[in-house]
């Protein structure tokens, strides 16, 4: 065959392959999935729970990596785990008292330990002296209380040989000598995900984490992965088992095809204080910020960086004003209890939500972009200004505000607020309003 014909032929084949692979990437969410996204956004607030064998060491969930604990030594935690005070109902009650509508639980973190009765590995909670399938109990407790359940699942593994550890950024000190084999690891993950999506009722979301182990650090120009995770297969499997189940992947990138929400770690969308959030906020899928209630995800015995009630409220409201949910984390103690410093703060913020929930649940980010004084949310014809601090000069100017206003009131006591609509925008007189709390809400009703 002449070279020109050959190259045309191969271009054609290449084009076909590209076309097929792109087609494979086209993802149309099921109607149930779109509905689940809406409910998720309405629900706004969830409890993240990092807990497992690592909790016993009281040094955060990265302890295996940070202290280069060899798999052989780390294994000694298995016969020692007996969380005598574990009570799934109490965890769910903590979430309810906080005004949270969902829980995301660590089914398997980077130490590879499975918090359910998996048939795919012996490295699991039912092989500890505790023996109980805590996920089963949590799923039942959530169902009873109408709390949705999402499952965190690490794609990174510091324990297994077949995880492609040779190219990983972390877990190099855990003493693995076997060769990585992604085909085998992928099959293992698929089998585990099948269990999770078959045996535990309706699952709100699968919350993946660990992709970044196979990329350059966040902020690097090239963030391509060193392995092909074959997400189309993993995501396809999840959506075929439970079409409504929302997939999110904490890869710190813009969402990939097949993903149903985008998470931000320790940043509100649009911020990058953590150095992990270089990605833009998606306009297509729901957003979620995850944050710790102290400084750590997993139980850390010396961590006293407790967030105050005001900080928690402002975080939630700050997320809502940026059209995002807040997934607030606790790391329960090795005995299974959530420490009182956390439950007290969560309950106090929950009390605030009992009064102000109308301005948060079911809302979307408001028309006024985040301001130095706070943020806005909106539901129908009502816009809520969430004012975190005394506005300068007892006046709030909403530049460019054109919509016709019917009335303005202090949300909590329905006291009218004086306002003027002029060419430069809407001006509210905030004189006489107390801004002592975490968030004073002013309601603008549109005509
Ligand atoms: O390494 C994990 C960390 O332990 C924790 O689970 C957080 C939660 O967003 N995600 C990873 C770091 O990006």
In 176-249 the beta strands, taken as DSSP E runs, fall at 205-209, 246-249
Distance (Å) from CA 387 to ligand 1 centroid: 31
Q: What token pair was written down for 2?
A: 């002449």
- What per-residue confidence (pLDDT) applies to 11? 42
Pocket test for ligand 1, best of 108, 219, 265 (most atoms within 8 A of CB): 265
Please give the backbone phi and psi of residue 198, each rounded to the nearest 5 degrees, phi first. -115, -35
Cβ partners under 8 Å of residue 5, min gap 6: none
Cα 323 to the center of its chain, rounded Å: 14
Distance (Å) from CA 111 to ligand 1 centroid: 12
SS percent in the chain: helix, strand, coil, step 5: 35, 20, 45
Only one residue has tokens 């006291």, namely 415
In the chain, count of helices (H) and strands (E)? 10, 16
CB 200 within 8 A of CB 142: no
Give dist(CA 250, CA 266) in Å, integer: 12
Give dist(CA 144, CA 283) in Å, integer: 34
- What per-residue confidence (pLDDT) applies to 5? 38
Section 334-352 average pLDDT: 98
Pocket test for ligand 1, best of 210, 217, 297, 330 (most atoms within 8 A of CB): 297
Give dist(CA 223, CA 149) in Å, integer: 31
Q: Which residue lies with its CA nearest to atom 3 of ligand 1?
A: 297
**Could you read off the pLDDT of 73-109 as tens digits, one per residue?**
999 999 999 999 999 999 999 999 999 999 999 999 9
Ligand 1 atom having least distance to the Cα of 48: 8
Ligand 1 atom having least distance to the Cα of 60: 4
CB 153 within 8 A of CB 206: yes
Residue 4 has pLDDT above 70, yes or no: no
Only one residue has tokens 């909106």, namely 378
- What per-residue confidence (pLDDT) applies to 86? 98
Section 336-347 average pLDDT: 98
Binned at pLDDT 50, 70 and 90, residue 25 comes out as: low
Distance (Å) from CA 357 to ligand 1 centroid: 29
**Could you read off the pLDDT of 232-271 as tens digits, one per residue?**
999 999 999 999 999 999 999 999 999 999 999 999 999 9
- What per-residue confidence (pLDDT) applies to 373? 93
Give dist(CA 177, CA 166) in Å, integer: 10
Reduce the DSSP state of residue 440 to 3 states and report it: strand
Of 67-71, 110-114, 189-193, 370-374, give the lowest mean pLDDT range. 370-374
Residue 138 has pLDDT above 90, yes or no: yes
Q: What token pair was written down for 435?
A: 């801004």
CB 168 within 8 A of CB 222: no
Q: How many CA atoms does the CB half-sphere of 242 hold within 13 Å? A: 21
Binned at pLDDT 50, 70 and 90, residue 426 comes out as: very high
Percent of the chain, pLDDT > 90?
92
Residue 10 has pLDDT above 70, yes or no: no
Give dist(CA 52, CA 111) in Å, integer: 9
- What per-residue confidence (pLDDT) applies to 26? 87
Residue 188 has pLDDT above 70, yes or no: yes
Residue 370 has pLDDT above 80, yes or no: yes
Q: What is the DSSP letter of 391?
A: P
Section 325-346 average pLDDT: 98
Mean pLDDT over each residue of the chain, to the nearest integer: 94
Residue 311 has pLDDT above 70, yes or no: yes
Q: What token pair was written down for 9?
A: 């032929």
Ligand 1 atom having least distance to the Cα of 106: 6
Q: Please name every residue paired with 395 in a beta bridge, in sequence order, or none if there are none.
A: 429
- What per-residue confidence (pLDDT) applies to 244? 98
Please give the backbone phi and psi of residue 409, each rounded to the nearest 5 degrees, phi first. -140, 155
CB 180 within 8 A of CB 164: yes
- What per-residue confidence (pLDDT) applies to 152? 99
Q: What is the DSSP letter of 52?
A: S
Section 319-341 average pLDDT: 98
Q: What token pair was written down for 372?
A: 């130095």
Please give the backbone phi and psi of residue 357, each rounded to the nearest 5 degrees, phi first. -55, -35
Pocket of ligand 1 (CB under 6 A): 61-62, 209, 250, 265, 290, 297
- What per-residue confidence (pLDDT) applies to 19? 39
CB 315 within 8 A of CB 328: yes
Distance (Å) from CA 185 to ligand 1 centroid: 20
């Amino acid at each position: 065959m002449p070279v020109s014909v050959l190259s045309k032929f191969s271009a054609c084949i290449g084009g076909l392959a590209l076309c097929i692979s792109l087609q494979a990437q086209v993802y149309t969410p099921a109607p149930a999935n779109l509905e689940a996204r809406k409910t998720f956004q309405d629900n706004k607030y969830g409890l993240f729970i990092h807990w497992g064998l690592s909790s016993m060491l009281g040094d955060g969930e990265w302890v295996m990596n940070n202290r280069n604990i060899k798999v052989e030594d780390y294994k000694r935690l298995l016969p020692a785990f007996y969380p005598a005070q574990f009570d799934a109902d109490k965890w769910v009650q903590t979430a309810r008292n906080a005004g949270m509508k969902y829980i995301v639980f660590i089914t398997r973190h980077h130490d590879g330990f499975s918090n359910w009765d998996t048939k795919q590995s012996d490295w699991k909670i039912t092989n500890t002296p505790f023996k109980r399938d805590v996920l089963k109990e949590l799923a039942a407790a959530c169902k009873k209380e109408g709390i949705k359940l999402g499952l965190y699942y690490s794609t990174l593994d510091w324990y297994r040989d077949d995880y492609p550890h040779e190219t990983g950024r972390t877990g190099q000190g855990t003493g693995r000598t076997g060769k990585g084999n992604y085909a085998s690891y992928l099959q293992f993950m698929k089998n585990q995900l099948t269990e999770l999506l078959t045996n535990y009722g309706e699952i709100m979301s699968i919350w993946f984490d660990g992709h970044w182990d196979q990329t350059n650090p966040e902020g690097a120009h090239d963030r391509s992965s060193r392995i092909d995770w074959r997400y189309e297969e993993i995501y396809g499997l999840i959506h075929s088992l439970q079409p409504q189940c929302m997939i999110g992947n904490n890869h710190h990138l813009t969402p990939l095809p097949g993903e149903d929400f985008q998470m931000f770690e320790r940043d509100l969308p649009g911020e990058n204080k953590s150095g992990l959030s270089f990605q833009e906020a998606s306009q297509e899928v729901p957003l979620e910020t995850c944050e710790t209630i102290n400084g750590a995800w997993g139980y850390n015995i010396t961590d006293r960086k407790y967030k105050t009630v005001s900080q928690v409220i402002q975080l939630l409201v700050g997320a809502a004003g940026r059209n995002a949910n807040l997934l607030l984390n606790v790391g329960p103690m090795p005995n299974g209890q959530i420490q009182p410093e956390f439950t007290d703060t969560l309950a106090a913020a929950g009390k605030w939500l009992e009064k102000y929930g109308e301005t948060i649940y079911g809302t979307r980010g408001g028309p006024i972009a985040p301001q130095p004084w706070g943020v806005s949310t909106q539901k129908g014809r009502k816009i809520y200004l969430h004012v975190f601090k005394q506005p300068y000069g007892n006046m709030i100017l909403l530049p460019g505000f054109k919509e016709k206003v019917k009335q303005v009131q202090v949300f909590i006591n329905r006291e009218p607020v004086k306002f003027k609509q002029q060419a430069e925008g809407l001006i509210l007189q905030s004189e006489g309003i107390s801004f002592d709390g975490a968030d004073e809400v002013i309601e603008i009703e549109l005509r």
